[in-house]
């Protein structure tokens, strides 16, 4: 018979818990048998003393087993999943999932809603009229078997221990503990039933992990957890020192994903020496208040494509389709160039009740009433970006949730036109702001301009893909 008092004492002294002890802690807290004050004390001990590999694996498995576990056994083939640790403008799921599905790799994905600067994957998909994020499990499995892709909202019964523990971590300053972060993420992934997992671990000013070393450490822990559970896992460390791509906001990010999938020639976009001022004329461009029609700068689209193709290639490898990264990436590029990935995205949208005409014509998306250019106020080079602050601008506009009960405005956001390392001149458009409530305009404008640093010295932007952990 265990006592929580003894568990706190043991971890305070730096000793290692057994798997049974960790199971006792997780089960007891989930059932309400262990009070918040004792669990808070234990979490703080973990924060300072850390956890061993075995402890972290035991914690992950205990949380994964605390509720329902989705069985994907009825789905044919190796099921792959992706998880991102978050960031600003991250819409890679809408690009990666159709690529993989068009190549015959089953993607059975559960995603959540967003809390903070923007909506989650589920919120963004609801910008497509009619799209249903909740379908019966039998239909979910049928969709993956028939067209290799389904994406639904996460059930509340999946890893309930994690939800309860995270709420306590959030109010006790114990969120930023590597073993607690890793077990939180991986418990949900293990419970979701995928055979292979690719982890997109962000680092930089818009990410939880501010530097590459911490991001790599987190990725390694999660990859090790996945392997201990018999999953094929890769960790991809990517840069979040500026928003990913050009668009930030719910409907805007879906538009951007569609535009990327509509490209017929992806390879020229990946040139490392591409000039920021060169424009790409994409197949699907629009006239939404004067912003989308101007196309994309080559730097922004290159970063988004590089991350998306890297993730897709490793997911392709994790599914056992290739053992060579370059060959896998080439297959993913072909899926875009042939139009197969775009067609798959439309098929997926329509299968879950969404209006596929929005994929054919991005002008149909309902964006904010006002599109206001935000211009640079001095000459120089764009040297740095406080990416989290850019995300907060979207929250001010109404594109995120301050609380779980907040209503999201799906049509607001930013279309960013200048990127790190690029030349800026006074009067150049830094970004277009899509805004409904002009009462928050001055605050949003001030914070957006304040998020960027302009220097007289040339600054080289960070590599978008920093490291691979396997």
**Which are the catalytic amino acids?**
83, 162, 169, 184, 188
In this structure, are residues 149 and 348 in contact, taking their beta carbons and an 8 Å threshold?
A: yes
Element (H, E) at 254: helix 250-261
Element (H, E) at 82: strand 80-84
Neighbours of 279 (CB within 10 A): 13
395 Cβ partners below 8 Å, 6+ apart? 116, 117, 118, 401, 402
Rounded Cα distance between 241 and 238, Å, is 9
Rounded Cα distance between 446 and 31, Å, is 47
Transcribe 163-212 into DSSP letters: HHHHHHHHHTT----HHHHHHHHHHHHHHTT-SEEEEEEEESTTSSB-SH
Diameter over CA atoms, the chain = 70
- Helices 93-102 and 340-351: crossing angle in degrees, nearest 10, is 100
- Half-sphere exposure for 5 (CA within 13 Å, toward CB): 1
């Amino acid at each position: 018979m265990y006592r929580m008092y003894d568990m706190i004492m043991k971890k305070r002294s730096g000793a290692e818990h057994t798997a049974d002890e960790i199971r006792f802690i997780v089960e007891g807290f989930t059932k309400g048998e262990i009070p918040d004050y004792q669990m808070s004390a234990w979490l703080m001990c973990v924060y300072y003393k850390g956890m061993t590999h075995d402890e972290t694996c035991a914690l992950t498995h205990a949380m994964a087993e605390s509720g329902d576990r989705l069985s994907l056994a009825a789905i044919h083939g190796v099921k792959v999943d992706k998880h991102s640790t978050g960031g600003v403008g991250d819409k890679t799921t809408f690009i990666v999932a159709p690529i993989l599905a068009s190549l015959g790799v089953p993607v059975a994905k559960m995603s959540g809603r967003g809390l903070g600067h923007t909506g989650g994957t589920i919120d963004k998909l609801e910008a497509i009229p009619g799209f249903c994020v909740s379908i019966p499990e039998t239909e979910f499995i049928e969709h993956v078997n028939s067209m290799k892709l389904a994406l639904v909202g996460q059930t509340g019964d999946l890893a309930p221990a994690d939800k309860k523990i995270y709420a306590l971590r959030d109010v006790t300053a114990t969120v930023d503990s590597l073993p607690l972060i890793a077990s939180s993420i991986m418990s949900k992934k293990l419970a979701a039933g995928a055979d292979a997992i690719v982890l997109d671990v962000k680092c930089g000013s818009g990410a939880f992990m501010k530097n590459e070393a911490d991001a790599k450490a987190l990725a390694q822990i999660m990859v090790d957890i996945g392997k201990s559970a018999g999953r094929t896992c890769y960790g991809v460390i990517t840069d979040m020192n500026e928003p990913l791509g050009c668009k930030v906001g719910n409907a805007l990010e879906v538009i951007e994903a569609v535009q990327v999938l509509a490209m017929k020639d992806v390879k020229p976009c990946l040139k490392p020496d591409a000039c920021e001022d060169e424009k790409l004329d994409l197949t699907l461009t629009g006239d939404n208040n004067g912003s989308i029609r101007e196309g994309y700068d080559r730097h922004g689209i290159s970063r988004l494509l590089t991350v998306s193709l890297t993730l897709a290639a490793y997911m392709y490898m994790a599914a056992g389709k290739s053992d060579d990264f370059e060959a896998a990436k080439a297959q993913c590029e072909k899926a875009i160039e042939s139009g197969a990935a775009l067609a798959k995205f439309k098929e997926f949208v329509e299968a879950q009740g969404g209006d596929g005409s929005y994929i054919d014509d991005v002008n149909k998306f309902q964006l904010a009433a006002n599109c206001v250019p935000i211009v640079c106020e001095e000459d120089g080079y764009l040297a740095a970006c406080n990416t989290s602050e850019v995300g907060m601008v979207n929250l001010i506009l109404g594109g995120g949730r301050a609380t779980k009960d907040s209503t999201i405005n799906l049509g607001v956001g930013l279309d960013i036109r200048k990127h790190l390392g690029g030349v800026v001149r006074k009067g150049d458009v830094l970004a277009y702001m899509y805004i409904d409530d002009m009462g928050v305009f001055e605050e949003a404008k001030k914070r957006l301009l304040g998020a960027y640093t302009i220097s007289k010295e040339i600054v080289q932007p960070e590599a978008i893909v920093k490291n691979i952990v396997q």
